[in-house]
With several copies, the nearest count.
Chain A
Amino acid sequence: MSRFFNATIQENVPVHANHNLLTLSIPEGAPAPLPGQFFMLQVSRGSDPLLKRAFSIFRTTQQGVQLLYRIRGRGTEILRTMKEGAVLEMLGPLGNCYPNPPRDKMPLILAGGIGIASVFPLIEKFAGRSIVFYGARTKDDLLMKDKAEKLSKKLFISTDDGSAGSRGTIAAVLSSFLADPHSPIPDCHIYACGPHPLLRAVSEIAERHGVTAYVSMEEHMACGIGACLGCVVKTRSGYSSVCKEGPVFKSTEIVW
């Protein structure tokens, strides 16, 4: 089965202000996506917008793959208007995935905003075993909070405006958690996805505490398969492509 195929929209429903859950049925035999991998979708038939949009695999259900997306610009606005039955060109699953923690390590999963989409498969995978840190701008931007609560051993919440959980960034919450003498350090691994400054903060915190952290990076993409060299981030071994060598990197690999 080729990783380039037509997917059919099963459902495309708002889950929150400005966020939709998209369910796509994909051809049989398509490779199953791993946590941290992503797909690219062609949202137009014409040449404007031209490039595919990248979305992390959020869940795999019997109906197909689910993507959770934030309406951000023109491409996602077009996607929002698409209805059941519409057919989209799709590329994926792409990229590497979040590595498994060694048996004895506890997964700490951190998400900022729509970053929840990327780490959600981990939350499901480590059901009942992981501690989840989830930050968003406001209460209304917290998606899938109840699901995350059910699936995690413990869920920490923060919002920029304090409308839910503690006020401030979720990195600060992680930091206090790790600073707590009862923390399971160094017996944990961090998995994080969110805006660049948040990931940088997480990386610093992890380093300070001697904890291994994996971060999922974002960059503008054209090909999605490592051919154009457009989506690079600076790493200790030079520029690496987010689409192929990433999106998940060890935080110490990144030159922040």
Chain B
Amino acid sequence: MDIAVRIGSLELKNPVMTASGTFGYGEEYAEFMDLNKLGAVVVKGLSLTPKEGNPPPRIVETASGMLNAIGLQNIGIERFIQEKIPFLRTYDTKVIVNFFGDSVAEYVAAAERLSCEEGIHGLEMNISCPNKQKGWCIFGTDPRVAAEVVSAVRKATRLPLIVKLSPNVTDIALMARVAVDAGADALSAINTLTGMAIDIRTKRPKLANRTGGLSGPAIKPVALRMIYEIFSAVKVPIIGMGGIMNADDAIEFILAGSSAVAVGTANFINPLAASEILEGITAYMKTEKIDNIAHLTGVAHET
């Protein structure tokens, strides 16, 4: 059975990865799961310099989901390279670094710095973050801004470049095309939907940051629809995510058009989720007599 998948020039031994921000820097989960089993570890989003993040409360539970407003807290690229890469290099899995910036220049500098380190196999660009240069706009919701920042990063790295799309847009297929035209080797989708919760006793938003990103099973239908639309719009591999809790969910994403899947919020519920999902996918392939995972990708589009 062939379950290896290609993401640009990167070959993963299987299609199961972790979603950025839900798996720490990998080591937090090493106690529970053999990281060697993963197709790739995608680490918490990094920026050139450390970020403090938002004040608490940062988390609110919602119906079949959760809102988070971590505010991209991270230790910065240098400390990551010093302290985390050596550990990750002891595993036989691919390391994909999720990163972001406040400006195009910061994105480029981050990509350049990450590209000259051994042990980093791919970059995932998070474009769902506020653009400090342009005030309130989010890189990932304006096609022109997205094109600009992706092109700039494309020139700055030879590593496989995955662009992670924001779902908070009218036309996800358009954003996918823009990212691919600007040089993305692959797309990942979806990031969190922007949401809110209000405390009816204090009459204030529950999150200190007021709004946060919705993840978990609640968003799965929206994520699947977006994967389905992206698959019709572009040719590059898609890494599907958004509410994947078990193998059946992951298979839905593959049928909708994903080449690989990422497990996010599910890690919090079951620290073994990613490895159980991989087992479930191979069990399904056996039952369905499918010998190559690639034959499943996008099958829901056939009529």
Do A and B come into direct contact in the complex, CB within 8 Å?
yes
**Distance between Cα atoms of A89 and B273 in the complex (Å):** 13
Nearest B residue (CB) for A233:
B56
| Distance (whole angstroms) from the CB of B244 to the closest CB of chain A | 12
Task: Confirm or deny: A222 has a beta carbon within 8 angstroms of a beta carbon on chain B.
Answer: yes
The answer on a CB contact under 8 Å between A220 and B61 is: yes
Tell me whether B56 and A223 are in contact (CB under 8 A).
no
Q: Does the CB pair A47–B64 fall under 8 Å?
A: yes
Instruction: Say if the beta carbon of B70 comes within 8 Å of chain A.
Output: yes
Asked if B57 and A220 make an inter-chain contact with CB atoms under 8 angstroms apart, the answer reads yes
Contact (Cβ within 8 A) A50 B22: no
Q: Does residue B267 face the partner (Cβ distance < 8 Å to A)?
A: yes
Asked if residues A222 and B66 are in contact (CB atoms below 8 Å), the reply is yes
| Option from A2, A3, A220, A227 in Cβ contact (under 8 Å) with B267 | A227
In this assembly, does A232 line the interface, its C-beta being within 8 Å of a C-beta of chain B?
Answer: yes
Contacting A47 at CB < 8 Å: which of B24, B56, B217, B267? Answer: B217
Interchain nearest-CB distance for B53 vs A (Å): 6
Question: Please, what's the 1-or-0 string for A178-208, where 1 marks a CB less than 8 Å from any CB in chain B?
Answer: 0000000000000000000000000000000
Which residue, A42, A223, A226, has most C-beta atoms of chain B within 10 A?
A: A223
| Nearest-Cβ distance from residue A245 to partner chain B, whole angstroms | 12
Once A222-B268, A226-B24, A227-B23 are accepted as A-B contacts, the answer to whether A51 and B68 lie under 8 Å apart by CB is no
Q: Which of B28, B70, B271 contacts A4 (CB 8 A)?
A: B271
Q: Which residues of A contact B64 (CB under 8 A)?
A: 46-48, 50
Q: Is A228 an interface residue (CB 8 A)?
A: yes
- Chain A nearest CB from B22 CB (Å) reads 6
Query: A83: CB under 8 A from chain B?
Result: no
Query: Are A91 and B59 in contact, CB atoms less than 8 angstroms apart?
Result: no
Contact of A227 among B24, B217, B245, B270 (CB under 8 A): B24
Q: What residues of chain B lie closer than 8 Å to A52, measured between beta carbons? A: 268-269
Is B58 located at the chain interface by the 8 A CB criterion?
A: yes
Q: Which residues of A contact B52 (CB under 8 A)?
A: 238-239
Q: Tell me if B21 is interfacial: C-beta within 8 Å of chain A.
A: yes
Most buried by B among A46, A47, A51: A47
| Best-surrounded residue of A46, A89, A91, A220 (most CB of chain B within 10 A) | A220
When distances are taken between beta carbons in the complex, the residues of chain B under 8 Å from A3 are 31-32
Cβ of A136 under 8 Å from chain B: no
Name A73's closest neighbour in chain B (CB-CB): B61
Q: Assign chain A's interface to a size class.
A: 20 to 34
**What is the distance, in angstroms, from A129's C-beta to the closest C-beta of chain B?**
35
Chain B interface bracket (under 10, 10 to 19, 20 to 34, 35 or more)? 35 or more
A4-B32 contact given A47-B63, A50-B64, A228-B268, CB 8 Å threshold: yes
Could you say which of B21, B22, B28 has the most chain A C-beta atoms within 10 Å of its C-beta? B28
A223 to B28, CA, bound (A): 10
Name the residue on B nearest A89 (C-beta): B270
**Counting CB contacts under 8 A, is B60 at the interface?**
yes
CB of A230 closer than 8 Å to a CB of B: yes
Q: Which residues of A contact B116 (CB under 8 A)?
A: none
Does B39 lie at the interface of the complex (its beta carbon under 8 Å from any beta carbon of A)?
no
Does A230 contact B24, Cβ atoms closer than 8 Å?
A: no
| Min CB–CB distance A222 → chain B (angstroms) | 4
Give the distance to chain A from B95, nearest Cβ to Cβ, in Å. Answer: 16
Q: Which residue of B lies closest to A75 (CB)?
A: B61
Cβ of A254 to closest chain B Cβ, rounded Å: 12
Chain A residues contacting B270 (CB-CB under 8 Å) are: 4, 89
For residue A140, give the distance in angstroms from its CB to the closest CB of chain B: 22
Q: Is B257 positioned at the interface, with any CB of A under 8 Å from its CB?
A: no
Asked whether B272 is an interface residue with its Cβ less than 8 Å from the other chain, the reply is yes
Which of B21, B23, B61, B271 is in CB contact (< 8 Å) with A91? B271
Residue from A49, A89, A223, A232 in contact with B61 in the complex, judged by beta carbons closer than 8 Å: A49
B73 in the interface (beta carbon within 8 A): yes
Residue in chain A with minimal CB distance to B218: A47
Contacts of B65 in A (CB 8 A): 50
12 contacts between A and B (CB under 8 A): A3-B32, A4-B272, A47-B216, A51-B268, A51-B269, A219-B56, A225-B31, A227-B29, A228-B22, A228-B268, A231-B58, A232-B58
Please give the residue numbers on chain B whose beta carbons come within 8 Å of chain A beta carbons, in ascending order.
21-24, 28-29, 31-32, 44, 52-53, 55-66, 68, 70, 73, 216-218, 245, 265, 267-272
What are the 5 tightest A-B residue pairs by CB atom distance, in nearest-first order? Answer: A227-B24, A230-B59, A227-B28, A47-B64, A47-B217
